[in-house]
Amino acid sequence: MTAVSFVLVPLLLNNGLVHAADTAGGSVNVRLKVGQESVTINGAASTIEKPYVVGGTTMIPLSIITNAFGATLQWDNQTQTIELTAGEQTISLKAGDKNAKLNGQPIVLSVAPELKNGKTMVPVTLVTQFLGANVSENKQTGEVTITGASTQGTAASNSSLDSDHGKTKVGDSYYGWSMKYPTELILGYQSYKGNYASFHDSKETFWLNVQVYEDQPENLSNDGLVKFLAENQYGMILSKEYVEKDGLSYARVVSRDEEDYMAESRAYRKGDKVYEITLSVSNEADFNNPAKYKGYKDMLDSFTAHFDKQDKSIKDLSNVENGYRWFDYKDFGLKIKVPAVWEKVGGDSGAAFSNDDGDQWMQLSVTSATENDKLDDWVAKHERMYREMYAESALDVDKNATTTTIAGVTARERNYGTFDGENKYQERHIFFIKGKYKFHLQLAFNKTADPAKTLEMINTISRSLSIDEQKMNQSLGFIQDDILLDKNKMATIKDSKYKYAIDIPEYWQEDVVDSRSLIGKSYLFEGGAFTLFVFKDSYSEVEKSFTSIFKMQTSGSEKTSLVENKPVTVHGESGRKFVIKGEEEGIRYERTAYLFPKGKYSYYISWSIRDAYSTAATKERMEKVLNSFKVIE
C-alpha cells in the first residue's frame, strides 16, 4: 500500500463544501496563514489542514483548488494519479513526485505533493501554474492571499473545506458499524460492496481491517465465534479466547505470521452478521510496548456493531442510497446505480454484477463507434448473434426495438426471452452511441421474479446512467466490438509430442483438463464444451473401456440414454461413434463422441451441447473441427 492510497477519493470528492462564487467565473479571494487551520473564502470562514512551509514553498490543502476554485478531481487507482480539471485546463500529479503534466505536457512542480494527516497538500505555486491565479505571500507573518476566478457555480455554505473536519468516528451505515477515527488513520482500500475496509497510518506501521460476514448463524455460541475467528487467521496463534470485560464482549485471537507481523483480531456478532476487526503491527516490539498498545487497544475497544445516523461526527463510508449503490466506471466517465445486494463479478476492471443466486445480473460493455456504425444496424447484428447462439425454442425476441433516451442521447431498447436449459430469463438490452463509443447495457432477471419489481429495478438502473465525456480517460483508444468477431475463424492447435493438429474456433476459451491421467485439450463455448484426449493404450482396450463407461452411465436411467453406438470411418480409420442424450441437474444436453486410432495413439474427440444452444450453426462448427483433425509427423 502507498501513502496516497484510496483515501483521496472520499477526502476530496465532497459536494457539500464552501465554494468561492455563486456563478461560474465569479471572483475568488482566499486568505490563509501558515500554521493555522482557519481560512476565509470571499469572507466566509472555514477549517482546513494547517498550511506549512517546505523548502521555502508554502503547502496548502488540495481541497482549496477543488472547492474554492471549482476544479473537479478524478482519481486513478491503478496509477495512483490525481487529475484536476478546471475549464479547458487539466493537470495530473502524484504524491511524492515533482513531475506533473499540464494539458498533457510535462512540468516540474516546486515541491512534490504529499500527504499530511490523510490530506493531500500541494505547493501554493500550483494555483498559479494550473489556474493562473495570483498568489501574494508575506514571509514574515506567514499570511497568504490567493485571488482568481472560479470555474464552478453554486455552492453550499457554512461547511468545511476538509470533508473529514469534525469527523471523530468512522463507520458504515449500510452494514451497521462504527469506531473511533484518529487523525493518523487513513482509508487504504474499500471493497466494491463495502463489506471490507482497510486502514493504515501514514508511515504504514500498522493496519486496521474491518470485514463484515453476512448470512451467519444467529445462534452462534461464544465458542463457535472463537472458532470462526481462529479459522480466519494466518500464522501462529498465540492466544484465543472469548472476552467479557468492561462492558465489552467479543472473540479475541492474537497471532504472529511468518514475517513477524503481530495481529490482534476480534469478532462481534449481531443478528446474522459477524464483524471481524483485525489490527496488524509490523514491529512486534510496538505491539508489546504498553504505551503504544494502549493506543491500539483504544481503537479496537471503540468498535461497535452499531451506526448512529443522527451522529454527525461519524464519517460514513457507505454509498448506498435507497437500496442501490453507485458504480463509478471512471475510465468512461460513467455512473450507474446497482442494487446494493449484488456482487461485482469478473474482476475489478469490468462492469458486471450479479445477485447471490446468479439469476439476476447486469453487464455494461463499451466498444468503439466507427463512422459507419448505425444504431439500428447494431441492434440487428445483436439479434442475429442471439439467433445463432440459441435454439429457436429457447429464444423469444420482441418484434421491434423501442426508442428511449439514455445519458442524454437516443437509445434503443429490446426485450429478449431466453432459456439456458434450466431457467427462463427476461432480458432488457439497451444500446446507445455517445461520442466515440458504443454502450450496451444488458439486464437479466429470472422470469419467476415479480414482474412489477423487475420493471422497477430495470427503470431505476437504466435511468440512473449518466456519462460525462470530459471525465473520460484520455488514454482510451480503439476498443473492438466482439459482436464483429467471426465465430467460424479457426486457429490451428498442434501437439508435436502426440502427433496431431486440429483447428478450433478462435473465440473458444481453453479449459483445464481436470485429471493428471488424461492427456489432451478442453475448451468451452456458449452452452457447450469440447474435448480431445489422447490414449497410449491399444485401440481395442480404449474402445472397450468407453463402450463400458457409456453403457454404465445410461443403464437404468430414465433421463439419459445412449442413442447411437456404431462403427464409423474417421479419417480413414475404423472407429466408433457414440451419441448420448441426457439430463444433468435439470439441463437437457446431447454429447457426441468419436473414438479412433491413428498412428501410435488412439484419439477421443467429443462435444456436449445444451439443447437450448443446439443450433445448426453450432453443429456445423463441430463437424468442421472434427474434419480438421490430422496426424503430423
The pLDDT assigned to 417 comes to 95
Annotate 400-427 with three-state secondary structure: CCEEEEECCEEEEEEEEEEECCCCEEEE
Q: Average pLDDT of 427-455?
A: 95
Instruction: Give the chain's domains with CATH numbers.
Output: 5-149 (3.30.457.10), 169-313 (3.40.1000.10), 320-484 (3.40.1000.10), 490-631 (3.40.1000.10)
pLDDT in tens, 374-388: 999 999 999 999 999
Pick the most confident of 44-53, 73-82, 300-309. 300-309
The pLDDT assigned to 471 comes to 87
Torsion of CA 577, 583, 589, 593, to 10 degrees: -20
Neighbour count for residue 99 (Cβ, 10 Å): 12
Cell numbers 463512422 correspond to 371
For 594, the grid coordinates are 468419436
Write the DSSP assignment of 530-587 as a string of letters: EEEEEE-S-HHHHHHHHHHHHHHHHTT-SS-EEEEEEEEEETTEEEEEEEEEEEETTE
The pLDDT assigned to 157 comes to 33
The pLDDT assigned to 298 comes to 94
pLDDT in tens, 456-493: 999 999 999 999 988 888 899 999 887 777 888 999 99
Residues 178-202, buried b or exposed e (16+ Cβ, 10 A)?
bbebbeebbbbbbeebbbebbbbbb
Please give the Cα distance from 464 to 451 (Å, whole number). 20
The pLDDT assigned to 273 comes to 97
What residues form DSSP beta bridges with 75? 82
Phi first, then psi: give them for residue 382, nearest 5 degrees. Answer: -65, -40
For 351, the grid coordinates are 462492469
How many Cα atoms sit within 13 Å of 264 on the Cβ side? Answer: 18
Which letter does DSSP use for residue 49 in this model? P
Contact 120, 186 (CB under 8 A): no
The pLDDT assigned to 152 comes to 54
Q: How far apart are the first and last CA of the chain?
A: 53
The pLDDT assigned to 159 comes to 37
- What is the pTM assigned to this prediction? 0.66
Please give the Cα distance from 91 to 94 (Å, whole number). 10
Contact 310, 292 (CB under 8 A): no
Banded model confidence at residue 366, pLDDT cuts 50, 70, 90:
very high
